[in-house]
Chain A
Amino acid sequence: MILVAFALTALAAIILVALSRTHNQMNAAAVGQALVFAALAFYILFFVRVPVDTFIVGSGYFFIDHLGLLEVLVATFIFVLAAVYARGYVGNLLISHELEAGSLKLFYAAWCLLELVIVLAFFSDNLALFWIFAEMTTVISAMLVAILSAKENIDAALKYIFVASVAMIFAFVGLIFLYEITRSALGTGTLNWTVLMANASALPSTMMAAAFLFIFIGFAAKSGIFPFHTWLPEAHAKAPSAVSAVLSGVLLNVGIYGIIRVFAIARQTAAAAIVVPVILAFGIFTIAIAAFSMLPEKNLKKLVAFSSIENMGLMLTGIAVATPLAIFWVLVQVIAHALTKASLFFSAGILHRQYRNHLSADAPDDIHDVFRFQPLAAWGIVLGGLAIIGMPPFLAFFSKFFILLSLGSISPWVLALVLVLLFIAASAFGYFVIRTFGRTTPPGEPCEPVPYHTPLSMQAPIVILLALVLALGLMFPAGGYAFITQIVTELGFS
Chain B
Amino acid sequence: MIPLITGQVVAFWIFAPLSIAGALGMVIARKPVHSAISLAGMMVALGCLYASLDAPFLFVAQIIVYTGAIMMLFLFTMMIVGVDTTDSLIETLRGQRVAAAIFVFAFAAFIIVVAGNGIVTGAGGLETANAGGNVEGIAKIIFGTYVFAFELTAALLMVAALAAIVLAHGESLRKRETQAERARRKTLEFAETGKDPGPLPGPGVYARHNSIEYPALLPDGSIAEKSVSPTLAIRGVAVVENDGLRAAHRAAITEFVEVQDENTGSDEAPKVAEELADPGSVERTAIETTDGDPDTPKEQ
Answer whether A and B are interacting partners.
Answer: no
B residues whose Cβ falls under 8 Å from a Cβ of A: none
